[in-house]
Amino acid sequence: MKEILILDVETTGLDPETDVIVELGFVLFSVEHHSTIAQGSHLFGAASNPAEAINRIPAAAVTNEEGWPRPGFDAFFLASASRAGVVAAHNASFDRSFLERNPRVDLGSSAQWICTHEDFPWPIERARGRSLVEIAVAHDVPVVSAHRALDDCRLLAEIFTRIPDLDERLEIAGRPRMAYKALVSYDQREQAKAAGFRWNPEMKIWTRRLAVTELDGFPFAVAAIPEPK
């Protein structure tokens, strides 16, 4: 794998059925050279931005720019994406769900996505399942600014520059995965948390997506969670 596309979106809310993208940021990153090749960001037109307090994008900036992104950005983004072997995003299912509903920047069903939040085997294991800022701090990467789309892409790229075996870890993250639960008691909950499992309040279990090659080595047993029918 020579290049990856690091991607992040800011949106008007959490529901891709009713909310829309207000900003897209990306970094085309060379895995071989541990370096950024290209980067860009752009605002999208929207009727309003209810999430302004979170993403810090003034509502006037998007409501006054109807029709963005401009065609030049579309082409630049898609050309950069075409060079990448995979798309990496922190909480990839969220970003992907919004891109799939925007034909101007949709990467298509053939794009391979990697989630750095759940699937990437960070050198410091306790970083798995944490926020991007927490992962940066765990890997001694200073956080200058955060939460705008391109800021988060640059932060993830900088973390990647600190990982010598990045190619191997991306390959592991790209393996087929399914959901597993940690078979732990209440007193063992900290073991599950330390191993990267997250508490699912609805199912009342500790869960994590794992590849078959990652099932061994935990101080507790794990069991697959059946896929919903």
Assign 212 to helix, strand or coil.
helix
pLDDT tens-digit readout, 180-191: 999 999 999 999
- pTM above threshold 0.85: yes
**Under a CB-based contact definition with an 8 Å cutoff, are residues 75 and 58 in contact?**
no
Q: How far apart are CA 80 and CA 83, in angstroms?
A: 5
Helix (H) or strand (E) holding 117: none
- First-last CA distance in the chain: 35
Q: Which CATH class is domain 3-173?
A: alpha beta
Phi, psi of 9 (to 5 degrees): -125, 150
Domain ranges of the chain: 3-173, 178-224
What are the tens digits of pLDDT across the range 88-118? Answer: 999 999 999 999 999 989 999 889 999 999 8
pLDDT at residue 146 greater than cutoff 90: no
CB 210 within 8 A of CB 180: yes
pLDDT tens readout for residues 156-213 = 999 999 999 999 999 999 999 999 999 999 999 999 988 888 899 999 999 999 999 8
Do the beta carbons of residue 88 and residue 156 sit within 8 Å?
yes
Quote the percentage of the chain above a pLDDT of 90.
Answer: 75
